[in-house]
Amino acid sequence: MHPRRYETLILLAPNQDSLETFKNKVEGLLAAGGGQIVRFEDWGRRRLAYPVQKETYGHYLLYDYQGGPALAAELERNLKIDEKVFKYLTLVLAKKFTAEDLAAAQEKLLAEAARRESEKARREEAGSDDGGEDEAETEAEAADDEE
């Protein structure tokens, strides 16, 4: 069976003191199951649309990884047991995800990160040269990016 590409979004308790321990646990589970992380994003602490276990804030983590169906099932089993996890959602992004696909995805992510950095540098340079009107445009663009 071919490895698949999964994406798991995890919602944790907001006042998570052992966040690094939790991240290491998840990464260890993925590595032990023969998976490989394609992308990881820590979205941070955000306000929830509705209270979950009487909490109005939660900490979001996004894992994009490659592995078999047994790996995703094992990760979900561990998330279900952990008391710090409010909710989680796992999606199958690709049913067949080969090593070439993995290399292409990582290259695409690196190119996207480089593009964002160069655009950020260009905005900062434009904002420092002109000052007035471009700053308002830059702030509006930053607000659009956050949404």
* pLDDT at res. 26: 92
**Within this chain, do residues 108 and 88 fall inside the same structural domain, yes or no?**
no
**Both 30 and 78 in a single domain?**
yes
Helix extents (H) in the chain: 19-32, 69-81, 99-130, 132-146
19 and 42 share one domain: yes
* Spans of the chain below 50 pLDDT: 132, 146-147
A 10 A CB-CB count for 82 gives 13
Overall domain count for the chain:
2
Contacts of 22-28 with CB under 8 Å at 24 or more apart are 22/61, 22/82, 22/84, 23/61, 25/78, 26/61, 26/63, 26/75, 26/78
Together in a domain, 65 and 117: no
pLDDT at 130: 53
* DSSP string over 25-51: HHHHHHHHTT-EEEEEEEEEEEEEEEE
81, 97, 113 - which closes a domain: 97
pLDDT at 112: 83
Query: What's the pLDDT at 30?
Result: 92
109/87 same-domain check: no
pLDDT at 105: 81
Same domain, 51 and 85: yes
**Cα–Cα distance measured from residue 47 to residue 42, given in angstroms and rounded to the nearest whole number:** 15
Quote the domain boundaries for residue 120. 101-146
* Residue 88: per-residue pLDDT: 95
Residues 120 and 89 in one domain: no
Domain boundary among 97, 112, 133: 97
Contacts of 64 (CB under 8 A, 6+ apart): 5, 6, 7, 37, 38, 39, 40, 93
pLDDT of residue 31: 92
Predicted local confidence at residue 147, as pLDDT: 46
Question: Looking at the whole model, is its pTM more than 0.75?
Answer: no
Same domain? For 24 and 76 the reply is: yes
pLDDT at residue number 12: 92
Q: Quote the tokens at residue 95.
A: 């049913």
